[in-house]
Structure 1
């Protein structure tokens, strides 16, 4: 069994690798990097993109770079300092991963291993390349981890707890199937932004990152904005214009054309700028290339509405309105303590 210090050190080395590879991709002539490892990493990124057209090299590199910023000695030790992990009650934890964005289940994987447990991983077919590559890198740094990480395509067996992520429909199945085991079951969530009309151009441009990163496929992606009655969207469209190259991605463009045709045939009123459609809608989960919006009468009334529907939201982007709000442009940069659905994964693992 690997001790915690050795596990932490393996992830610190992984973070260093992510940072160096990201820098190497930006300035290959300016940084000395292991060419063999660089070639293997490039092949994995290319393969992941072939298996899932939404996994562009840019978005995979963004995920790696983001994790590289988090996986430092200081960050990991500060995060784990709140938990009594010295003598963990070691368990095998089944992880049923989603596959909507690159490395979406990595935080669960990290939490399981650094809490002293074994990871039994069932990958989504949409993201079945990146994590095994990363696991192999970790094992190279700490060979004892080979016995702590297992990937399976078949039926999950011989586990003590489960963390499963899926849609609202699969969540019902998970809750029934895993009812006899300690579990965290995650359902659909979306993120929203609250605009007041006083936002700067820089804030609205940053909101574009929250909307367009990963093509809006993540639970931390902003899929809806709340705006005051009579809000004019011209400044918003102007501020996000630099994101227009997204329409050159074929899968995104196909979704844009299809959803636009559906809206027009259904005679829905939409606003659009050639790469994003705005549709007034009370729902939270908007289709690709569409951003829902809803008008509000008062901030107090909106706060009550958001509090009432909190279980549907992963992040609320705003400026000085909510205690747990996220700054514009920061939804895809969560900290280690930003747990999905607000459920402390490490605490769950230690108490199970």
Structure 2
């Protein structure tokens, strides 16, 4: 059985590897002879991941690796865990039902489970089947003590003590039925929004493009809705987002753009578009791919009240000087170790279960 120090060191080494591999894959460094075999394995797996799921481009997978490389340092891991009484954990088997909407989307649950000394029983999404098993293979080679803490399950989940399941509003009902009798975190659909006042700089609006287009808008932290004041000049936004026009070169994104545009035209919806993004006035939070919903507001105070009321539907809100818990432009896909999905503290749940 590993101790906390070993586990922290193992994940810190994984972070170093993510950084080294990403630089190599982007041709920014030469192949490390010591990592030759692993670099080749990751090359093959990135190719396989894209074959399984066309949304998983090498660029987006490497972006995920880079984000984790930034977080998985020994100091950051120690600081994060220092607020918990880690020695109070009683080892348990935790069923992790993974989503597959963006690369390694379930890694934070995996990290929380393993680093806290528990065993992860992992049920992968069919959309993300190859990345985490390779990551697990790497980390167990550098720290063999972790081997008995990581298990991938193909069939029925059995012998678990707690459950962390991520899915849609529909699958959450299934999860409640099957896993509701055990301690659980069951996550549903969430979206992210942005509040514009009209005073944003071009740099801020351009940074918002990262929040909108990263992972093609498929993440729960992807901005799918914006709130704008009356008479907002959308040209400001379209001009700032122009550098992201490359998204239309991805065939799945382009197909969605064409399909949704046709639907809107046939339905006689009024839509603003620039060739790679459509803006549609809509009260919903969840917009289709290649579409950004917008809604006008009269009063920021009224808008704040509404967003507070809808807090369970929102993962994060991008703004500048509007909300106490706002996220800066361009940073929705850069959560910290302590930014928990649905604002439910996963480590605390695991320690107290």
Alignment TM class, shorter chain as reference: over 0.9
What does 1:134-153 correspond to in 2, within 5 Å? 134-153=135-154
**Counterpart position of 2:10:** 10
- Aligned match of 2:330: 329
Query: Counterparts in 2 of 1:166-205, with a 5 A limit?
Result: 166-205=167-206
Number of the residue aligned with 2:157:
156
Alpha-carbon RMSD across the aligned residues, in angstroms, is: 1.0
Alpha-carbon offset, residue 151 of structure 1: 0.2
Q: Is the 8 A contact 2:88 2:351 kept in 1?
A: no
After TM superposition, give the deviation of residue 31 of structure 1 in Å.
Answer: 6.6
- 2:111 alignment partner in structure 1: 110
Deviation (angstroms), 1:275: 0.1
Structure 2 counterparts to residues 183-262 of structure 1, below 5 A: 183-262=184-263
1:81 lines up with 2:82 in the alignment? yes
5+ residue gaps, structure 1, are: none
Superposition pairs of residues 265-304 of structure 1, within 5 angstroms = 265-304=266-305
Paired residue secondary structure (1:279): strand
Residue by residue, what CA displacement relative to the aligned partner does 1:215-272 show, whole Å, maximum 9, x if unpaired?
A: 0000000000000011110010000101001101000000000000000000000000
Distance in 2, Cα, partners of 1:27 & 1:251: 26
TM-score between the two structures when normalised by the length of structure 1: 0.98
Separation in 1, partners of 2:113, 2:127: 22
User: Using the alignment, how far apart are the partners of 1:320 and 1:173 within structure 2?
Assistant: 40
Deviation per residue, 1:317-341 (Å, 9 max, x gap): 0001111110000000000000000
> Do the aligned residues in 2 keep the contact of 1:189 with 1:312 (CA within 8 Å)?
yes
Distance 2:86 2:29 in 1: 42
User: 2:222, 2:139 → 1: CA distance?
Assistant: 29
| Aligned partners of 1:44 and 1:129 also within 8 Å | yes
Distance in 1 (alpha carbons) for counterparts of 2:5 and 2:143: 11
Q: Which residue of 2 aligns with 1:40?
A: 41
Deviation for aligned residue 1:87? 4.2
Structure 2: state its 5+ residue gaps. Answer: none
Question: What is the TM-score normalised by the length of structure 2?
Answer: 0.98
Q: Does the aligned pair in 1 maintain the 2:89–2:350 contact within 8 Å?
A: no
Q: Deviations over 1:17-72 (max 9, x none)?
A: 01111122234455745222211111110000000000000000000010000000
**1-structure distance, mates of 2:131, 2:30:** 26
SS in structure 2 at match of 1:119: strand
Q: Deviations over 1:276-317 (max 9, x none)?
A: 000000000000000000000011111111111111100100
